[in-house]
Amino acid sequence: MSTSGSPLEALKGGFRRACVRRLVGDENGAIEVLKNEIPLLVVAWAKTSSLEPADKKAKLKEMFDDESARAEELAVAFDLFAGRFEARVASRVQDSVDGVVGRMEQLSQKLEKTILDLTKARFPVQEESAEPEILEDDSPIVKEDEGMEAESEEVPVASEEGVDESKLDPPAGIGLKFDEIEEMIDELLSSDK
């Protein structure tokens, strides 16, 4: 409770506090001001006023109505200001977000291009056929011993249908390590996405 200034101004301030609390949704706070502060302020004002009791009552009602109307006007002005402020802030935030999104998209495009360029430089596109060529030689195998004539021995070539895999020799290495193949496969699969 503020008692600065005249009792009349203090009473108006008390009415104003009660009205503002009611407008902001603090009904309990408004009731507290009306029950605890206003009676003391009314007594202090009534002691300094030379009006008749009926006129004092009318003056109190007039003051309360004036402060209530003033609080409502302030609330409307605040709502208008808040709406404009919110619209301006929202507009600026949207502009800022749009700018950041644009920069992120540019950065993403540059990163994708760099990755693509590096991939092309590291793994140039080969224009060979998709299937490797397999050379088949149906000629007989020739063994040569020292001092003897070369004897030829024919090895039968099995058809693809009747191949017994358990009789085949293990595959000869071609100079690639499994880690290199796995790495190449991972890079190819990631570039296809």
150 — pLDDT class (breaks 50, 70, 90): very low
CA-to-CA separations, 55 to 8, 45, 62, 126, in angstroms, rounded: 15, 13, 10, 104
Closest CA to 160 of 136, 179, 141: 136
pLDDT band per the 50, 70, 90 thresholds, residue 184 = low
pLDDT reading at 172 higher than 50: no
State the DSSP code for 162: T
Q: Tell me: the pLDDT tens digits for 14-62? A: 988 888 888 888 989 988 998 999 889 988 888 888 888 888 888 888 8
Residue 124 has pLDDT above 80, yes or no: no
In whole angstroms, give the CA distance from residue 121 to residue 191: 13
Q: Which is nearest to 72 in space by CA: 16, 110, 119?
A: 16
Does 109 have pLDDT greater than 90?
yes
Write down the pLDDT at residue 34: 87
Structural contact between residues 12 and 63, judged by C-beta atoms closer than 8 angstroms: yes
Distance CA(45)–CA(53), nearest Å, equals 12
Say which residue, 155 or 189, is predicted with more confidence: 189
First-to-last alpha carbon distance for the chain, in angstroms, is 71
- The answer, as to whether pTM is greater than 0.75, is no
